[in-house]
Amino acid sequence: MESYRAEPYSVPVTEGDRIRADAALHLAAYAFGVPATEMLRRERTRPRACRARWSAMYLAHVSYGWPLERVGHAFGLNRATASTACRWAEDERDDDKYDAVMDGLETCLRAVSELPAIDLALSTGAAR
């Protein structure tokens, strides 16, 4: 009898969305003291890493105004997981310290995302 092995959940995501999701993920990793590589694991992670990843998903949701399905896809997860993450993070904002950290991360992420794009390959200031 053959055993069934599910394929990992995957949908096409734009490079821009992946870059934005990575920015949110790395900011959350830094703020919560969790390696981003641990947050990206497909298998079960420590609760701290899981909550940091959930915070990153929530950060992308509120900072970019993305719907939950887009958040899930950008993080390689489904909409239900993104919804759970955002619901947890929203509830966690009742904690003043967590709320202050998330406010700071939202401000930082919005500031970075509003910077003008520059193509380094075409940049003229590359002389040493």
Place of tokens 């909409």: 79
pLDDT in tens, 63-93: 999 999 999 999 998 999 999 999 999 999 9
Whole-model pTM? 0.83
Q: How far is CA 88 from CA 20, 48, 94, in A?
A: 21, 13, 11
pLDDT in tens, 107-118: 999 999 999 988
Set out the domains of the chain in order of their start, with CATH numbers. Answer: 15-113 (1.10.1750.10)
